[in-house]
Structure 1
Amino acid sequence: MAGTTTSTPRPPFDAGPSFNASAYLVDRHVEAGDGARVALRCDGADTTYAALAALTARAAAAFTALGVRREERVLFLMADTLELAAGILGAMRAGMVAVPVSTMLTAADLGPLLADCRARVVVASADFAAALAAALPASDAVTHLVVSGGARPQVPAGVVLVDWDDALAAGDEAAPGGAPVVAAGDDAGALWLYTSGTTGVPKAAMHRHANIRHVCETYGTQVLGIRRDDRCLSVAKLFFAYGIGNSLFFPLSVGAMAILEPRRPTPATVAERARADRPTVFYAVPAFFAGMLAADLPADTLEGVRIATSAGEALPAALQQRWTARFGVDILDGLGSTEALHIFLSNAPGDIGPGTSGRPVPGYEVEVRTEDGSRAPAGTPGMLFVGGESIATGYWCRTATTRSVFQGRWLATGDTYVEDADGRFTCLGRSNDMIKAGGIWVSPGEVEARLLEHPDVVEAAVVGGVDHDGLERPVAAVVLRDGGTVTGDDLVAFCREGLAHFKAPRAVLVRDTLPRTATGKLQRFKVRALVVEQDPLHAREAAPTGAPVP
């Protein structure tokens, strides 16, 4: 039926009522005789599955010794390191809830999250310990700050500062050999992930142990085809949904190796890591793919990579084609969300529709609905809904928002999509991103895709601006490649050559960067604010004939 697509899931892992995601990802490989296989590589140091299982058990014992009880939260503000991976897995092993948060947050940002999640123990890498310590007064629930890497920040009265190694030693004393795996069960809480907050205050999406298994058995196995000999490198970090799936869930679910990169991702650092560790699966976001092209990296930078994936926002076909032509690797663009834990719409190897999000991942139902809630026929835009076993149980302490977003077995994604006659889904933008120009709806994604076809443009964002008549018109903000000389007027003309005139931007702002979240998602509300501030439409209208405009 047009407007609805359902895929049949493969048989689930036979976990029984005591399922624990940590044991599923680590311990079962050791029990199967694969303890000597490399699970994680970080800065050239390898950790086997046996060593990871032991460290995970020690971390679980450490958190228990610090007073954390089952179903209580442990918050992590850490770089992508062995300690973070073991900490997340250790919390889940002990039946606690792991809460990794963005390392790009300031103390002012962290305070509300601490107060919201009410974690008793918080863990930080040395580089982020001061920021976390400064945020501690916002919560009266924190009893211990555990720091990895030797930093000694000042902490408020009532909070105990503990070194990571000392915490492990205390756990060893309380539970020699490490804490046992808790029989959690499918529905027990395992992981909270805060949404990126592009349109409001971040909310914690609550995920069960079963959700982790589901994304591994669906997208990981049936789309990526993740296998034991893979080496996975992700630009996206462990603190958000896309990254934790890429660097922890998928490789560990099959006994493969994850390559962790603690540094902030740049084309140079990722290229260095790729040359050193030779990944076979590479995960990034559209802005990073554009950055790699702009950085003029050698064509063999990703030699050995068999597949790349993209998520976070729609990948324009022009960018996809330029990147693949340069590096010789196909990109599987897909759509996921924090609330769904990972990708539920995706292109697949041998089945790539450039400019589309592909088809539903096996195990998910995807439906486009019109404004009245009915299923949209093929070719008709509407709101995208998804159903599947990895959908979060809701937002922590956000009843009204939970009821509007989580509707029975369906998740309202907030994305406007259209399904074609072949069952592929194409993103038209967020529901509140669509622009009505001259009474006709304009998709920002379509205009951005045209802008990115210009060889001088590496990033583009299109939003609605208001002209002197109070009418909404498309306005673009772009980032040019190094040495790019194209002007705003040139780009307006370029768009008019390839698009219907009503779709072309009326003005183009050239910027050094575009505002993005820690996950690489474009912050359109900040682009809108920039357009309001600079008012390029009025500047264009006021300029005399032949005068320069923004």
Structure 2
Amino acid sequence: MSELFNAAEYLTERRVTAGDGARTAVHHPRGTLTYAELATEVRRVAGGLAALGVRPEERVVLCMADDVELYTAILGAMYLGAVAVPCSTMLTGPELAVLVADSRARILIGSHHFADAVRTAAEAAPDLQTVIMAGEPSWQSLLDAPPLQRPHTTWDESPALWLYTSGTTGKPKGAMHRHADIRSVCETYAHQVLDIRPDDVCLSVAKLFFAYGIGNSMFFPLSVGAAAILEPSRPSPALMAENAAKYGATLLFGVPSFWGPLLAADLPDDAFAQVRQGVSAGETLPARMFTGIRDRFGVEILDGIGSTEALHIFISNRPGAVVPGSSGHPVPGYEIELRRTDGTVITGTGEPGMLWISGDSICTGYWCRTAVNRTVFQGEWMRTGDQYVRNEGGSLTCLGRTDDVLKVGGIWVSPAEVESRILEHPAVAEAVVIGIPDDDGLDKPIAYVVPRDGALVDPDELITFCKAGLASFKRPRAVVVVAELPKTATGKVQRYRLRQSHTTVPA
């Protein structure tokens, strides 16, 4: 039997009732919001959406910068019982139009940073009726409507949030989350792994439209009366260091594509002196980055794996017990299985298998994707698409996505293992390894690398370096030096775009 529960009330008014009304909830570029002020703004946005005719369980698409307007729009939509759909701000207008049309949304809220994409999407979305732009008269009109005095009577099972997958495959899908899923990730990862506290201040590289980012900057801090830092701009190492010092960040959430440049940045070693814990997700954190950040800045990074479908991290390292290069152990509240291709479960160590997970935060499925749903979601279990291996001691190491693992000369090769070796080279800042067919149609590992600032990469020397630390068959057959790697908005490398750039092994 479902119980009455509204995630927006849980994150805002519940804290006011608990006596946290005067505590800072949000730091933003123009000031701060206390919990009492945040609750008031959420009711105003919810009232404005209701005045526009937004109905419970109807989708509200958001293409907005990480600022107060997006923060209150997400919470306001959920407070009303509608479904918040924050979308990547890196989408082009036609790409955003696909999501607006797919969600059947009648209302789209944007911010001036992305006005061109919003207008283009609006012209191509047949069900869209209203466009609101933050900072313009339409947004003020929204706030001028009578505020909603109480949350809609949603159940824990009611839909609250859709997050479109980041599209590393090029085909985004809307993962549908319940109000209960938000409470679940707070009570599992945030409370039992991070041990998040009321005096914590959260600073996240990942933005709010990403499952990782919305947990870091909204769900987790608001669940305990802590504070979040919102930053609309691109998160460079210098900007993150500035914000960490200005607001006293204690929890720093990053991704590997941030930690690498941070190591190479010209910053003082005490730039993150107040940070008590670092966190990484998105892709496997190379051991070099873990030890480098720890030794230079004194910040221990907890690497883990999460997903849009699970809403946040479900396997993680633990404070003081990190196994570098691994994703750690299952988060309390989640079960994992490694399965062979025939479906049997692997119980021992050292044998690779497909990672399946079970937990209360897993989405109810993808919107209008029946065939995919039947493959990915089976009973209480979800197929992640990741190949993993269990180590001695029980930690788990990612070998890559199923489509990424290569078979070279009849032997399986993990791109992550080769990438980790390449990243040990002092001239390399970023690396990704993919399989490209040779003249016989057999896959060969090819490395794409981004040099460190001021460094030169000699492809032949780098291949020799790999041979010195890996079995010879694992070495890249060619090295392609590039200025940057194609990535999603969440920092994941779009390997399919690299594959499309070459049909045969480059000379």
Quickly name the TM-score band, shorter chain normalised. Answer: over 0.9
How far is 1:468 from its partner? 3.0
1:472 aligns with 2:470: no
Question: For 2:299 and 2:271, how far apart are their aligned partners in 1?
Answer: 11
How far is 1:302 from its partner? 1.1
Give the corresponding residue for 2:85: 99
Give the corresponding residue for 1:208: 178
Following superposition of structure 1 onto structure 2, how do residues 384-463 of structure 1 map, counting pairs within 5 Å?
A: 384-463=355-434
1:142 aligns with 2:142: no
Q: Is the 8 A contact 1:314 1:427 kept in 2?
A: yes
Helix, strand or coil at the partner of 2:320: coil
Cα distance change of structure 1 residues 467 and 16 upon mapping to structure 2, 3 Å threshold: closer
Paired letter, 1:84: L
Paired letter, 1:522: V
Q: Is the 8 A contact 1:237 1:244 kept in 2?
A: yes
How far is 1:421 from its partner? 3.0
Question: For 2:115 and 2:34, how far apart are their aligned partners in 1?
Answer: 28
Which runs of no fewer than 5 residues in structure 2 stay unpaired? none
Question: For 2:439 and 2:173, how far apart are their aligned partners in 1?
Answer: 38
Helix, strand or coil at the partner of 1:218: helix
Give the corresponding residue for 2:474: 503
1:291 aligns with 2:277: no
Helix, strand or coil at the partner of 2:397: strand
Q: Which has the larger radius of gyration?
A: 1
How far is 1:121 from its partner? 1.4
One of 137, 140, 143 as aligned partner of 1:165? 140
One of 293, 297, 308 as aligned partner of 1:323? 293
Question: For 1:118 and 1:467, how far apart are their aligned partners in 2?
Answer: 44
Q: Which has the higher contact order (CA 8 A, sep 6+)?
A: 1
Paired letter, 1:524: R
Helix, strand or coil at the partner of 1:163: helix
How far is 1:44 from its partner? 5.3
How far is 1:296 from its partner? 2.7
Tell me the percent identity. Answer: 56
Following superposition of structure 1 onto structure 2, how do residues 52-451 of structure 1 map, counting pairs within 5 Å?
A: 52-150=38-136, 163-169=138-144, 171-172=145-146, 175=147, 178-376=148-346, 377-451=348-422
Helix, strand or coil at the partner of 1:32: helix
Question: For 1:139 and 1:444, how far apart are their aligned partners in 2?
Answer: 39
Q: Is the 8 A contact 1:359 1:425 kept in 2?
A: yes
How far is 1:530 from its partner? 3.0
Deviates more, 1:292-301 or 1:81-90: 292-301
Paired letter, 1:449: S
Deviates more, 1:66-75 or 1:122-131: 122-131
Question: For 1:489 and 1:502, how far apart are their aligned partners in 2?
Answer: 16
Paired letter, 2:263: L
Q: Is the 8 A contact 1:475 1:531 kept in 2?
A: no
Cα distance change of structure 1 residues 45 and 349 upon mapping to structure 2, 3 Å threshold: same
Give the corresponding residue for 2:491: 520
How far is 1:272 from its partner? 2.1
Question: For 2:197 and 2:126, how far apart are their aligned partners in 1?
Answer: 45
Question: For 1:424 and 1:127, how far apart are their aligned partners in 2?
Answer: 42
Give the corresponding residue for 1:22: 8
- Deviation readout 1:359-407 (Å, 9 max, x if unpaired): 0000000110001101113211010000000000000011111111111
Paired letter, 2:283: E
How far is 1:275 from its partner? 2.4
Q: Is the 8 A contact 1:311 1:333 kept in 2?
A: yes
How far is 1:197 from its partner? 1.1
Cα distance change of structure 1 residues 531 and 324 upon mapping to structure 2, 3 Å threshold: farther
- Return the TM-score normalized by structure 1: 0.90
Question: For 2:298 and 2:23, how far apart are their aligned partners in 1?
Answer: 29
Question: For 1:394 and 1:99, how far apart are their aligned partners in 2?
Answer: 15
- Deviation readout 1:215-269 (Å, 9 max, x if unpaired): 0000000011110000000000000100000000000000000000011222222
Question: For 1:218 and 1:209, how far apart are their aligned partners in 2?
Answer: 15
Deviates more, 1:478-487 or 1:496-505: 478-487
Paired letter, 2:83: V
Helix, strand or coil at the partner of 2:19: coil
Helix, strand or coil at the partner of 1:233: strand
Question: For 1:131 and 1:525, how far apart are their aligned partners in 2?
Answer: 24
Question: For 1:130 and 1:528, how far apart are their aligned partners in 2?
Answer: 30
How far is 1:180 from its partner? 1.2
- The RMSD of aligned alpha carbons is 1.3
- Deviation readout 1:31-52 (Å, 9 max, x if unpaired): 1121000000001511000000
Q: Tell me the number of residue pairs that the alignment of Structure 1 and Structure 2 aligns.
A: 506
How far is 1:60 from its partner? 0.5
Helix, strand or coil at the partner of 2:96: helix
Q: Is the 8 A contact 2:263 2:289 kept in 1?
A: no
Question: For 1:44 and 1:279, how far apart are their aligned partners in 2?
Answer: 18
Paired letter, 1:106: T
Give the corresponding residue for 1:9: none
Question: For 1:381 and 1:479, how far apart are their aligned partners in 2?
Answer: 29
Q: Is the 8 A contact 1:461 1:527 kept in 2?
A: no
Helix, strand or coil at the partner of 2:20: coil
Q: Is the 8 A contact 2:81 2:152 kept in 1?
A: yes
- Return the TM-score normalized by structure 2: 0.98
Paired letter, 1:306: R
Question: For 1:168 and 1:57, how far apart are their aligned partners in 2?
Answer: 9
Question: For 2:39 and 2:267, how far apart are their aligned partners in 1?
Answer: 38
Cα distance change of structure 1 residues 16 and 48 upon mapping to structure 2, 3 Å threshold: farther
Which runs of no fewer than 5 residues in structure 1 stay unpaired? 1-14, 151-161, 540-550
Q: Is the 8 A contact 2:160 2:177 kept in 1?
A: yes
Cα distance change of structure 1 residues 299 and 530 upon mapping to structure 2, 3 Å threshold: farther
How far is 1:434 from its partner? 0.8
Question: For 1:32 and 1:224, how far apart are their aligned partners in 2?
Answer: 22
Question: For 1:363 and 1:370, how far apart are their aligned partners in 2?
Answer: 24
